[in-house]
Structure 1
Amino acid sequence: MTLDQIKEKIEMGLPGSQVEILDPFRDGVHIKAIVKYTGFQKKSILEQHRMVYDTLKEELKEEIHALGLETLAI
């Protein structure tokens, strides 16, 4: 799965979100996502992260080894 596909998957699961995907180790399996989304308002950080993880449930089982998140309510 490419970084663009990961970005698209999050954006589809969280319509209207702004997503930036980084690959700091350049290995394709240790990914950082910065996600800005109005739906995060009044949600705890844990709830925000769960919302993102839910969009990548299958990918986290096999394709993505580690996902770092930064979530922001807009």
Structure 2
Amino acid sequence: MQAQLIENKIKNAITDAEVTLESADGIHYSATVISAEFAGKSRLEQHRMVMNALSDVIASDEVHALALKTLVRE
């Protein structure tokens, strides 16, 4: 259920996001997020967009770590 919550939060914040999420243990995640909204933004700005969407989940320690890859949808 946690993975679905994370995916939903990203998609709510970045409406056209395509999210691929993996976790081996339920607290360490790896995500790839693809969105046209990333166009013209630096990698740091892209990552901030995703992390802002997950700020409450990360602050609560429900997610211990998130390896993040962002790509611009052409």
TM-score, with structure 2 as normaliser: 0.92
**Structure 1 residue runs of 4 or more that deviate by more than 2 Å after TM superposition:** none
Unmatched 5+ stretches in structure 2: none
Q: CA deviation at 1:46?
A: 0.4
Matches within 5 A, 1:33-48: 33-48=31-46
Partner residue in 2 for 1:13: 13
SS in 1 for 2:26: coil
Normalised by the length of structure 1, the TM-score is 0.92
Once residues 2 and 29 of structure 1 are traced to their aligned partners in structure 2, the CA distance between those partners, rounded to angstroms, is 9
Any idea what the Cα deviations from partners look like across 1:6-26, whole Å, max 9, x if unmatched? Answer: 111100110011011111xx2
2:60 is the alignment partner of 1:53: no
Taking every aligned residue pair, what percent have the same amino acid on both sides? 39
The total of aligned residue pairs comes to 72
